[in-house]
Amino acid sequence: MALDKDENGIFQVAIDGPSGAGKSTVAKAVAASLGVEYVDTGAMYRAVAHKMRRLGLSLEDAEGIASMLQGTTVDFVGQRLLLDGEDVTDAIRSGAVAKLASDCSALPAVREKLVAAQRAMGEKKSVVMDGRDIGSNVFPRARHKFYLTAAPEERARRRLAELLAKGEDLSFEQVLDDIKLRDHNDSHRALNPLTRTPDAVEIDSTDMTVEAVLAAITGKIMEDRGAAAQAAVL
């Protein structure tokens, strides 16, 4: 897909929304269709949670967490996530890591470290970045912002199918309760909570296919960039 370039040749697409709304599937496809890199910021919070579990660090241990963060690196190599050089892409996908990621993402020291890393990634090259606070906090001036959501029951259905395919044995009610708890945590924390900024385009994917969501997002990006290119000529 051909795109006009921003002044410095770099642009960001922010895709925020609650757990299980389909952000990563869609963001990955949008990035591929634009020919830019995809950054899954939720995976970065999961990586920190994974390390906390390994080290047995509690959420209350501010000193331990601060020193752990100092010696921690989180990098993407293509679609793989390296924690201190080790590939943890698959290890961070458990329910236990997801729960701790939601909890530790409320800690200022964790957010400070990961937000700085995310800004560094999106300032060097164009990215599609998904998360909770990309349009509101990481890149408030992002050219393209989307808020992708879906009814909690539909998100629970999708998440349950994923977990069952991986051999995790959970009921629909357990997954729905977990989704509601994470929604509450992610939207009510003091620092950079999940929120829809007024300039983000909201897409409710409850009754939409992945292809339809993808078409809506790429269509809007092309429309905006086409308008920007015209304005530059006038």
For ligand DC, the binding residues (CB under 6 A) are: 19, 41-43, 45-46, 98, 101-102, 105, 131-134, 182, 186
Pick between residue 16 and residue 214 the one whose CB is nearest to ligand DC.
Answer: 16
Pick between residue 19 and residue 149 the one whose CB is nearest to ligand DC.
Answer: 19
Q: Shortest approach of ligand DC to residue 111 CB, angstroms?
A: 7
CA distance 68 to 74: 12
Enclosing H/E stretch for 220: helix 210-233
How far from 151 is each of 106, 183, 189, CA to CA, in Å? Answer: 24, 11, 21
Spatial neighbors of 230 by CB under 8 A, at least 6 apart, are: none
Pick between residue 205 and residue 225 the one whose CB is nearest to ligand DC.
Answer: 205
Cα–Cα–Cα angle for 14, 17, 22, nearest 5°?
Answer: 95
Pick between residue 128 and residue 225 the one whose CB is nearest to ligand DC.
Answer: 128
Q: Shortest approach of ligand DC to residue 7 CB, angstroms?
A: 26
Q: Shortest approach of ligand DC to residue 229 CB, angstroms?
A: 30
Q: Shortest approach of ligand DC to residue 132 CB, angstroms?
A: 4
Per DSSP, the three-state class of 48 is helix
